[in-house]
Structure formats: structure tokens, C-alpha cells
Amino acid sequence: MSSEDKIILCNMVFRGRHGVHPAERELGQRFEVDVELGLDLSRAMASDALQDTVDYSRAYAIVRQETEEHHYQLIEALAGAMVRRLVAELPVTSVLVRVRKPQVPLNGILSFAAVEIQRRR
């Protein structure tokens, strides 16, 4: 019996230089990221062995690299790059990435702008 379980990394916080406005790319700002990795965890539940699951330190490293080492104008592009790498580099059947940008340069008040992208293998 196969199922899709989830490993969830919630509210990772990084500093990145993403945005349409030059000041956003020059000064940088805070980005918050959630990741849900879908896979069958039945082997890991039985074995209690890291090789039977996803090492989520690797997922964290991928998200951190994309946020801190690359520069995108749009958070859509940032989230898309994360999704592509997570699907390509980890043994998962699906990935959901949610990127929040709390400091949005708008003429108004809001808590954050966010993008959510989900892909299946």
C-alpha cells in the first residue's frame, strides 16, 4: 500500500535580495518560507533510519541557497526555483513551497505578500 505522507519545514527565515525595485535588491529583506515534501514514509516509520526518508537538512540547504545566494525580481521565480531543485534533488513525489515577503513596498498596510507553488513528480 502506497501513500503520500508529508515532511513539513515551517517558517524558515532568510535574508534575500529579491524584488522589482532596486532598493529591495540592494538592501535585502526578510523572507519566510514553508515547504511540504510529499513521500511515502512507511519504510522510515518501520526502520527508524535516515536513509529511508528525506534528510530535511538538505531541503533546508536548498531553500537557503536559493534565497540567500540568488537574486530574483519576483517571489514567483524564487519559489519556482526552490520547487524545481527540491523535486530534482530529493526523493519526493510532490513539493509545496510557500514564500512570504513581509516588507512589501506598497502604498498600504498588509502583513505580507505570498506565493504558493505545488508540483508533483
Confidence grade of residue 13 (pLDDT, cut at 50, 70, 90): very high
Catalytic residue among 101, 108, 109, 110: 101
Residue 56 grid cell: 530535511
pLDDT at position 107 is 85
Query: 7-11, 21-25, 60-64, 104-108: which has the minimum mean pLDDT?
Result: 104-108
- In a 3-state reduction of DSSP, which class is residue 8? strand
Is residue 6 part of the annotated active site? The answer reads no
pTM for this predicted structure: 0.93
* Residue 3: pLDDT over 80: no
Residue pLDDT, tens place only, 18-76: 999 998 899 999 999 999 999 999 999 999 999 999 999 999 999 999 999 999 999 99
- Topology of domain 7-97 in CATH is GTP Cyclohydrolase I, domain 2 (3.30.1130)
Vertex 27 angle, CA 30 and 60, to 5°? 35
Residue 102 has pLDDT above 80, yes or no: yes
